[in-house]
Chains A and B, each alone.
Chain A
Amino acid sequence: MNAPGKDVPKISVSGLHKRFGAHQVLAGIDLEVARGKSLAIIGGSGSGKSVTIKCILGLLKPDSGSIRIDGQETAGLSGTAREQQLAKAGMLFQGAALFDSMTVWQNVAFGLIQAHRMPPVLAREKALAAMTKVGLEEKIADMNPAELSGGMQKRVGLARAIAPEPEILFFDEPTTGLDPIMAGIINELIIERVRELGATALTITHDMKSARRVADSIAMIYQGRIIWCGPAADVDHSGNPYVEQFIMAKSEGPIVLDVLRA
């Protein structure tokens, strides 16, 4: 396969629709992330952020629309072709989603052993190197994830995501549930590791401090559509009443919260 041109966006989504029963969650998402750039999607609870990222990763099947990675359509991929696309990506989950039946190093090395067929001894070395990069000491390598604090688990999740040196990194609410200091540390780690890998990053968050810190550009999702997208530096003077209400955390404004769903 030919290498994609420089102008081809790393991630390109257009007309993405997804419905659960009678509830239309995504109503035509359009977004692009250029190679090596970082985009944060902001939006309230239930606005469709997680569903968008899960559709891009192939964890959910969209009802319609196009998802292209390196210009290649991935929305209908299955089996080996999908696994090859997934091998390009790493994901940090909101709750870290560490495998509790494995030790810390086995968690970090999992993608190296399973997807990249690396021998366990070599994978352990790589896992320990990835752990060092996120500020984890080697002495916790043989501990179980349940023995770690929330912040440490996030770091292990980040180490697992970066260990296979992916081309794309997805971050699902990376700072949720962390104290401000640990949230700041995780933000810095994300920036450093994404920069070092030269990876393309897509973050979903409702933490504006985190979005401003980790992203080159920000997109706001509301009622299943991207209603504003622009450079992170412009988000404070977007001129969009929805964005203004969201970033200033006002209860009054055009955004109507679905209290029953929240």
Chain B
Amino acid sequence: MNGWNFLAIIGRIFLAFLQSTGHLVLFAGQALRHLVLPPFFVRITVQQMLRIGYFSLPVVGLTAIFTGAVLALQIYVGGSRFNAEGFVAQVVVISMVRELGPVLAALMLAGRVSSAIAAEIGTMRVTEQIDALTTLATNPFKYLVAPRLIAATLTLPLLVLVADIIGVMGGYLASTQRLGMNAGLYMKSTLDVLEMEDVTSGLTKAAVFGFLIALMGCYHGYNSRGGAQGVGAATTDAVVSASILILLFNYIMTDFFFS
């Protein structure tokens, strides 16, 4: 009998998962439809690009510079065990541009932006502001969701580009100032090994991550219920689900780019 109960619990969890996935896919479909259909709220989209992009620069920049610096130190120490300490510049730039730049910037934005979107839209939901938008003949998907999706999708690649440059500079500073490497040689090694495909694959990842970050913020905020506690739960859910999806899609896209 206990075995059947256990199976019933597994079944319920699985059905709840399918239901949530279905809701999310329908929400994403509706959001995509409103992305391409007028009217477009250009001013709000630009405002969101500033909020998401410009105001995230310090946190993304700090993350990138320390990651690049730590990477250089670790590769030097680890690489010295098999005489590969001379490859610090190459490993730093490829790691930052292909992997760490997009993923770390996206995870930082999941914490900063996805939570802010979920809290803002969630508060609007529980205070009936979204209902008020509708009664004023304004579609909340066009007014609230679409501008944030466009802004995050366009802005994160730009942020990642900045993070890549700052991350490489972090590696450069650690290598030249701490490890005593030659500055000119370091930069030459960096530029020699870097290929356009490394940059484009990283930026493509960033665009997808940006979309996921805004989607999770909007989805959980839009569906929040039950006052302050509901908004709090929506904020947490947005950050957690955005982070998990970033890591999942990072694997899927990396696998795709390799193949």
Q: Could you list which residues of chain A lie within 8 angstroms of chain B, going by C-beta atoms?
A: 54, 57-59, 83-84, 86-87, 89-91, 93-95, 97-100, 110-111, 114-115, 160, 170
Contacts and interface: CB of A to CB of B under 8 A. Distances in A.
Interface in B132-169: 132-139, 143
A59 B139 CA distance: 11
Contacts of A93: 128, 131-132
A258 to B, nearest CB: 18
B17 to A, nearest CB: 19
B105 to A, nearest CB: 26
* Consensus secondary structure, chain A interface: mixed
Contact of B136 (A59, A94, A115): A115
Contact of A115 (B124, B131, B137): B137
Nearest to B138: A114
Contact of B128 (A84, A95, A110): A95
B20 interface: no
A170 B136 CA distance: 12
Interface residues of B, number: 14
Nearest to A86: B137
B137 A97 contact: no
Contacts of A110: 136, 138
B27 to A, nearest CB: 16
Contacts of A59: 131, 134-135
Contacts of A86: 134-137
A90 B128 contact: no
B128 to A, nearest CB: 4
Nearest to A90: B135
B134 A97 contact: no
B137 A87 contact: yes
A90 B136 CA distance: 7
A97 B128 contact: yes
B132 A97 contact: yes
Contact of B132 (A58, A83, A84, A91): A91
A107 B119 CA distance: 20
B177 interface: no
